Amino acid sequence: MLPILQFIVDIVAGLLGGVLLLRFWTNAIRVRLPDQIRQFVHTITDWLVMPLRRVVPGTRGYDWASLIGAFLVVLVASTVLLLAGASGETMLLYALHRFLTWILYGFMALLIIEAIFSWVNPNAPLAPFVHALNQPLLRPIRRVVKPIGGMDLSVLVALVLIQILLFVLRQVFGYV
């Protein structure tokens, strides 16, 4: 029964945490969410972000309440480990590992979505939004990796680098 509970908690926490991280990232890089997405993001997250903002206000354009909210979500989702007999320290390490992994997987998803848009429909309504979300990741890579034969390989390089970071995280946390 515990694996089923963990599965359901992971789905709900992953969705909520992903939306909170998207809210943080769009504020950090100053990209305006399209209206329908903004309405969805705020409806899903305001119940957690607004009270946290009273305690942790945003500074220098960073919405710390959204980032801390995402970590709190992963922390609460990780408490299922306590039911399985894990220690508090193990649960905290696991939560930190999952939080960092969520961030990296979120970047991977954005990069893959941009690649699909570039192949299928570069003029799709959401394509400029996704492109703007990826710019801070791809800009430094594009300075080093120039297009080869008209092909921009920066997305591929970014995906490989994120995979390396995920491998390093697994090594550092020892498969927590």
84-88, 116-120, 159-163: lowest mean pLDDT where?
84-88
What is the H or E stretch that residue 96 is in? Answer: helix 88-120
**Domain assignments of the chain as residue spans, ordered by start:** 1-85, 87-175
Distance CA 136, CA 29 (A): 8
Q: What is the pLDDT of residues 6-45, one digit of tens each?
A: 899 999 999 999 999 999 999 999 999 999 999 999 999 9
- The pair of three-digit structure tokens given for residue 118, joined into one six-digit string: 């570039």
Mean pLDDT of the chain: 93
Task: Give residue for tokens 């007999």.
Answer: 85
**Percent of the chain at pLDDT above 90?**
78
Are 94 and 81 in contact, with CB atoms under 8 Å apart?
yes
* Encoded tokens for 35: 């209206």
Q: What's the pLDDT at 59?
A: 86
DSSP string across 51-65: HHHHHS--BTTB-HH
Length reported for the chain: 176
Q: Which amino acid is at 64?
A: W
- Judged against a pLDDT cut of 80, whether residue 176 lies above it is answered with no
